[in-house]
Amino acid sequence: MNEGLFQKIAGGFFVVIIPVVFLLLSGCGQKENHDGVIKLRVVTYQGGDIPLDIKEVMEAANAVSREKIGVTVDLEFQTTEKINLMMASGEYYDMVFTSSWVNNFDKNASAGLYYDITDLVKKETPKLYEYVDPYWTCAGVNGRIYGVPLLKDMGAEEMFRLNADYFEGKKGMLIPERMKLEDIEPFLEAYKRDHPDKFPLDMTKSGPAGYLNFLERIVNPIIVLPFGEGQEGDDVVPFYECEELVNRFRLFHKWYQAGYIHPDAATIDSTVADKSIPVRFGVAWKGYQGFSNPEEWGFNVKTSIYDGPYLSRSSEQGAMFGICAACDEEHAAACLKYIELISTDRKFRDILAYGIEGKHFEYLDNGTVLRSSTGRDRYNLMLYQTGPSASASVESVSRTFLSDPDQWKGVFEEYETEGIQSAINGFAYDRTGKEDIIAALLAIYSDYGAELRTGTSDPDVVLPEIKRRMEAAGMNELLQDIRSQLSEWNSRKEQTTEKGKSDGGN
């Protein structure tokens, strides 16, 4: 081979490869702006699979939104890890799903990653401001608003879902509408007596759904402030010093020892396939029918609420959209207009929520929505992934099993009358400088978490051990920091209320 050819090939490699590598490293996102239509990159949370028909549905939705507000959306689904990575690496997006449980809102908002929409939202989208009111508090950090809460079940109601055919039909037991957590024991006991080889209480490594919702979680789930029924909620404590929580762990452990819980629960990921389990946990809202479809379960399901409704900062932050701090005002306003459209235009909202009418779903006579089998297979999202659940039509599980179309009105009324409010909803902990402690504490928690919440380990044995390890890792330093930020926030709040009072007096 001659030297010239060799050098050409070698040179060619470098000419091609080096720019490619640099492109990869620098990233090459571009904002598009054709014919006055603003195109937004919206990233939302991917819970299960990405729906197969998303492209078709988004085309239909974009046609509407282009005409109404001159905005189209490129909707991406990303997992928790991907969203975290995207936020941590400074990638450009216009709007992102953020919450207390995926893509931590308080952390990102304190770090200045979201656009301050306090003035913009009132100026550009007064209808949206009115729609979300009075739930803006949970999106506030130091008195400024950094996100749009998506109205859904803002307060958490925790319930048991029981096999009514078995307990009421066969055993003649009465399932009450409300019960205490420990009141489920006779049901578990009855089933266990009949089926000694089975485990009546559904449990996976993530623990009972919603058992922590009576707590305001400052650093989830290790530093908490109890505010639920009968709780004196005025001081933040480590989770192992919260008496009610410890009692719950003891209860779970008692059930575990009695054989109500699968012995390997702490390592089991999912129990969806096992339809025979007669008692499950659930978090939902008044009137929700999704747990009760007898066609899906093979038996009638009755729910019994054991907690709530509890309105905490965490629960109200269940689903939000944050706008990127790097957006120009035009894009930020476009984002807000888009959220306003999904919040106030029911027909448009239903496209994103359920797909294309006639293909993925149909409207029933009472105004509720029924998904078709195509819809269930090819466009089955949880409502909050694409916008406020409350602005979409209500879903019925079958033609005969109809939901109340005005369900949400009742839900929000109940929150106002019966809901128990956390007193520190407006407080966001700024964790800058303490992240190393939090990382160490979370690592310790993950050593025990699954076994505590599934009842596998005895809390009276492991909690002292956790306490010792967490204190060695800087728990007290972190607590002190949180308490000082909290008292500062409290005094600022008192000042503003006093000021408000005196203003009102004048």
Partner 1 sequence: MAETDKKSFMTQGIKTQKFVGQEEKTENIRPLPGTEDKDEAVIGKKVSRFSLRGSGVRVTAHTDKVKPDTGVFGYTGKRNRIFMLMSLPAIIWYLGFFYLPMFGIFFAFKRFTPKPGEFLIKNLFVNSPWVGLENFNFLLRSSDIPGIIWNTLFYNFFFIILGIGIPVFLAIFLTEIHSVRFKGFIQTVMVLPYFLSWVIVGYLVYAFLATNEGQVNHLLRMFGMEGIQWYQSPGYWRFILIVTELWKSAGYAMIIYLCAVTAIDRSLYEGAVLDGATFLQRVRYITLPHLRPTICTIFILRIGTILNSDFGLFYQVPLDSGSLQSVTQTLDVYVYKALMQQANFSFSAAASFLQSIVGFVLLMVTNRIIKAIDSDSSLF
> 404 vs 481, which CB is nearer to partner 1?
481
CA angle 170, 173, 179 (to 5 degrees): 140
> 392 vs 437, which CB is nearer to partner 1?
437
456 binds partner 1 (CB under 8 A): yes
CA angle 321, 415, 98 (to 5 degrees): 15
447 binds partner 1 (CB under 8 A): yes
401 binds partner 1 (CB under 8 A): no
> 199 vs 408, which CB is nearer to partner 1?
199
Please answer whether residues 235 and 423 qualify as being in contact, where contact means their C-beta atoms are separated by less than 8 angstroms: no
> 389 vs 457, which CB is nearer to partner 1?
457
Place of tokens 């029981």: 162
Minimum CB separation of residue 428 from partner 1 in Å reads 17
Between 112 and 141, how does the x/- string for binding to partner 1 read (CB under 8 A)? -x----------------------------
Question: Among residues 437, 463, 482, 486, which is the contact residue for partner 1, using CB under 8 A?
Answer: 437
Please answer whether residues 494 and 248 qualify as being in contact, where contact means their C-beta atoms are separated by less than 8 angstroms: no
> 115 vs 348, which CB is nearer to partner 1?
115
> 26 vs 417, which CB is nearer to partner 1?
26
3-state secondary structure 260-276: CCCCCHHHCCCCCCCCC
Between 187 and 206, how does the x/- string for binding to partner 1 read (CB under 8 A)? ------------------x-
Question: Among residues 469, 481, 489, 490, which is the contact residue for partner 1, using CB under 8 A?
Answer: 469
271 binds partner 1 (CB under 8 A): no
Question: Among residues 164, 201, 381, 450, which is the contact residue for partner 1, using CB under 8 A?
Answer: 450
Place of tokens 């894009």: 331
501 vs 238: CA distance, rounded Å: 35
Closest to 344 measured CA to CA, from 381, 384, 392:
392
**Please, which residues have CB within 8 angstroms of residue 476's CB and are 6 or more apart in sequence?**
none
Cis peptide before 309 (omega within 30 of 0): yes
18 vs 188: CA distance, rounded Å: 65
Minimum CB separation of residue 99 from partner 1 in Å reads 13
Residue 409 has which token pair? Answer: 């009105």
19 binds partner 1 (CB under 8 A): no
Between 273 and 312, how does the x/- string for binding to partner 1 read (CB under 8 A)? ----------------------------------------
Closest to 238 measured CA to CA, from 254, 218, 252, 256:
218
The tally of CA atoms less than 13 A away on the side-chain side of residue 55 is: 1
Per DSSP, helices labelled H in 359-434 are 373-378, 407-417
Closest to 253 measured CA to CA, from 459, 450, 448:
459
> 73 vs 266, which CB is nearer to partner 1?
266
449 binds partner 1 (CB under 8 A): yes
The helix/strand/coil state of 226 is strand
> What residues numbered 56-85 form the site for partner 1, per CB under 8 A?
81, 84-85
Residues forming contacts to partner 1 in the complex (CB under 8 A) are: 1, 3, 6, 9-10, 13-14, 17-18, 21, 25-27, 29, 81, 84-85, 87-93, 104, 111, 113, 205, 262-264, 266-267, 324-326, 435-440, 442-444, 446-451, 456-457, 469, 472-474
